[in-house]
Chains A and B, each alone.
Chain A
Amino acid sequence: MEARGNNEINDSVGSLVRPVVVSSILFMVVCGLVYPLLTTGVAQLIFPYQAEGSLIERDGEVVGSELIAQQFTEPQYFHPRPSVTLDNAGEEDLPYNAANSRGSNYGATNEALIEQVRQRVADYREENGLPSDATAPVDAVTASSSGFDPHITPANAEVQLQRVAEARGISEDEAQTLIEENTDGRLFGFIGEPGVNVLELNLALDELGG
């Protein structure tokens, strides 16, 4: 059957060689180089802070990124969620390694998961001086997906509040205010979950002195 109108039909396979070869190079250049480089240029121009990773400076020195959790173990700081990241070679444990994101990938019936959670609950109780039958907020005893979830839940912050206030010698009310100031709320008041940004909160605490 013939095509209609002025349209032409070409049946030679040889005539496909040039477009096939040229198209892969052309679209590699357009989509793989021009597009991302142009985006980089424009992004660097209008949103340089975000484009470089939302890095926070204190006294002229970069101390972290507002989007990336870092390790906190001292009692006067709020602690982020557990992290199971490894070093860049993927061999040794290196929690909060933001150069090699990783979750545990443990399934619900994996004994390794349950044991980890039991251990974290015990540690959490000890750190925060909780009774031996106290439960822990689930986000405080489970590993995040990225390995450096910048947030903890308000419930988790609430439990750690007393320890932090005591270690710093500040009132719980002061700490409470800072928690609220560093909580990212829901989008439009109903989408997503509120989260306390741990690094920003800890920096605000240091700012407060004490």
Chain B
Amino acid sequence: MLLNVLSIAVILLCSIPLALLFGTYFARYVFAGERHLLPERLTYRVLGVNPNEEMTWKRYGLTLVLANGAMMLLGYAILRFQSLLPLNPQGLVPQNPDLAFNTMASFITNTNWQAYSGEVSLSNFSQMAAITFMMFVAPASSFAAAVALARGFSRREFGTLGNFWVDFTRAIYRYMLPLAFVLALFFVWQGETQTLSANATVNTVEGETQEIARGPVASLSSIKHIGTNGGGFFSQNSSHPYENPTALTNVTQNLAMLLTGASILYAFGLTVARRKQGWVLFATCFVLLIGSVAIAYPAEQYGNPILTEASADQSLTADQSGGSMEGKEVRFGPALSSLFSAITTATETGSVNNMHDSLTPLGGLVTIFNIQFGSVFGGVGAGFIYLMMYAIITVFIVGLMVGRSPEFLGKKIEACEVSLTVLAMLVTPLFILGFTGLAMVWPGALDSLNNPNAHGFSEILYAYTTGTQNNGSAFEGITDDTYFYNTTVGLAMLFGRYLPILALLAVAGSLAAKKNVPETAGTFSTATPTFAATLVFTIVVVGGLTFFPSWALGPIVEHFQMLEGKTFTLGD
């Protein structure tokens, strides 16, 4: 137990120096910088854009949405014509139209919800040219949006937010590609495959035949985490030994998930010339993340009392990890599994090293509320945007309490910013709760469930939660490749992605145009532990008030059912 807590603590603490290092790099060379490197100059020439062109928030947002739309279409075409394209050693057939729409909506929005199983649905070409491609451009797009939002705070009386193409290209060339390449080789060294060969067929020791799927896994696995994408090469994602073979790859994947989001926070502090502000935002996320692990790990380690009743020994001893092991791997055990689950949901990555559907009810609850908050580091760029939404709400509430017009980082926060922020915040409950409600009454939608009773409700709640917040993990038991789920989850992903980004770009545009308000003794400083605590409180209360009823209907009631030893059969 002590070792497990120690390992969790050490892994989490490692994210601090990494955020410092990469945050500094971001602030100097990715968010800003006059020089354009040679590959960048070539790219701008091929694209036919002027890197010195400045964009208003409207043009910035329009460019982002149109570029993403074109990329999504191209990816869709690749999936639909898979059988005519090269590198398809298994001869796999194309995805049907609604599944291909869902898949591409999922990957362009950084969600990576997968209604298909990679190894039996996608050719090596599709895994690279459609999936791996999306895994760069989707986070690079929201990375760019975050840079633009940061500029909104740092600029004074400016009409523009920078150039989308420059921010987007730099995120890929100066950060994601080089790091993904190095990490991929590291993962191969540890045992992830990187090959274009067809499945291996082996004659086993007992004389049976075993077919083993493999492919260009490592190159996908590295960007999967750096870009908080989360979509697996294999159906079982980072629990598959070819996609996360050792404790070392597991730790690396944890840190890679935290890296980009945490570094953006620090870089933001530097960009607005308030280093402490970066730490305050980081600390807010860090506290919430620790809180979620502190619920999930004990729940998973305690295990399922119904299984104890069935003579499964779940005790923690020197010779076994014990705990809830259904849907978990021995090399990770409950500790590294619950830590992975907390991080992948907090950062909206969505990769999994254990099956979330088989988490204990409280472990499952943690994954759901982490995703719903959306701001505990959050996805690349998008997490920063959500956190700033909560920060704006927080300064507004504080302003109301002390009776001053709210200010944030030297900018007056006025009706325009607050209205846009509140509207953006309503997107999440609207699509999560609205679609969950619709699925509960839609004819046939409940036939997709893999688990009965309260847990079945959680499967649906999780599906729309993960879709709207662009996480991508699932309570995987649900049969999600149906017309209804492909369409509704696809829409939830698109709206959940672009509405908040556009709203906050509008906020950024409005802020950039404002004058700076000089700080006085009466100014409520946002670079203090008090502000961090208030922000944590706001996130928990606003998130909690919005979603608590849904938790109560799903995981919370299931927890008490489990303690009572009640079991359920599907169809009863």
Contacts and interface: CB of A to CB of B under 8 A. Distances in A.
A9 B56 contact: yes
Interface stretch (B353-361, B371-379, B381-389): B353-361
A50 B193 contact: yes
B130 interface: yes
A187 B247 contact: yes
B325 A107 contact: no
B247 A101 contact: no
B242 interface: yes
Contacts of B429: none
A25 B132 CA distance: 14
Nearest to B56: A9
B399 interface: no
Size category of the A interface is: 35 or more
A175 interface: no
Most interface-central of B50, B323, B333, B475 (chain A CB within 10 A): B333
A88 B165 CA distance: 42
A55 B202 contact: yes
A153 B319 contact: yes
Contacts of A190: 3, 6-7, 10
Size category of the B interface is: 35 or more
Given A51-B188, A145-B236, A20 B70 contact: yes
A23 B173 CA distance: 14
Interface string A92-133: 000011111111111111111110011001000000000001
A32 B128 contact: yes
Given A36-B216, A153-B320, A186-B247, A107 B204 contact: no
A210 interface: no
B298 to A, nearest CB: 15
Given A100-B120, A153-B320, A145 B360 contact: no
Interface stretch (B61-69, B265-273, B342-350, B495-503): B61-69
Contacts of B330: 81, 139, 144, 149, 151-153, 193, 195
A54 B211 CA distance: 14
B187 to A, nearest CB: 9
Interface string A129-143: 000011111110111
B453 A63 contact: no
Given A8-B53, A20-B63, A158-B319, A63 B172 contact: no
A72 B47 contact: no
A74 B117 CA distance: 32
A139 B325 contact: yes
Contacts of A88: 120, 211
B311 A121 contact: yes
Contacts of B245: 67
A130 to B, nearest CB: 10
Given A103-B358, A192-B331, A109 B306 contact: yes
A39 B129 contact: no
Nearest to B561: A109
Interface in B449-490: 450-455, 458, 475-477
B94 interface: no
Given A53-B195, A114-B310, A101 B133 contact: no
Contact of B452 (A13, A20, A110): A110
A147 B355 CA distance: 11
A26 B236 contact: no
Contacts of A28: 71, 74-75, 129, 133
Contacts of A22: 46-48
A195 B128 CA distance: 33
A158 B191 CA distance: 27
Contacts of A146: 234, 236, 239-241, 329
A173 interface: no
Contacts of B54: 3, 7-9
A177 interface: no
A99 B326 contact: no
Given A103-B355, A108-B306, A113-B326, A21 B200 contact: no
The 8 closest A-B pairs by CB, nearest first: A192-B247, A32-B133, A105-B477, A145-B239, A1-B159, A107-B455, A155-B319, A101-B236
6 contacts: A1-B158, A31-B177, A51-B218, A62-B200, A70-B202, A106-B358
Interface of A: 1-4, 6-11, 13, 16, 18-28, 30-33, 35-40, 42-44, 46-47, 50-55, 61-65, 67-68, 70-74, 77, 81, 88, 90, 96-114, 117-118, 121, 133-139, 141-156, 158, 184, 186-187, 190-193, 195, 199, 202-203, 206
